[in-house]
Amino acid sequence: MWYDVRSFVSVSEHWIPHLEHYYKIHADEFDTKPKYVFVGTKSDLLHEEWRETVSDERVREMMKDFGTHIENIGYFKCSAKSGNGVRDIFESVREAMVTGE
């Protein structure tokens, strides 16, 4: 689950379209399509029922919707507070940068 609904909406309705627009204008300056990592934060708070969260399914639907324009490295959940999942994000990004996949 994505912890903050407002953050999810901002990513899906503002940031990805903005980045896609920038890429289309400057596509000739890039060797490959941009790669994106989707990160659901504050996973340590997912058990808090007082907060509306975004389901994994909804995140994957968003990723699929943008999948034709971008390359997804993956979707990760993490907690900066506990450190859970943070290393996985950085290792996956490093791997994608080194191998180009």
Beta-bridge partners for 71:
35
| pLDDT tens, position by position, 14-37 | 888 888 888 888 878 877 777 778
Beta-bridge partners for 2:
54
Domain interval for residue 50: 5-99
Q: What is the pLDDT of residue 49?
A: 62
- 8 A C-beta contact, residue 86 and residue 78: yes
The domain total for the chain is 1
CATH number at residue 15: 3.40.50.300
Q: Give the distance, in angstroms, between the CA of residue 26 and the centroid of all CA atoms in the same chain.
A: 22
| pLDDT tens, position by position, 4-14 | 678 888 888 88
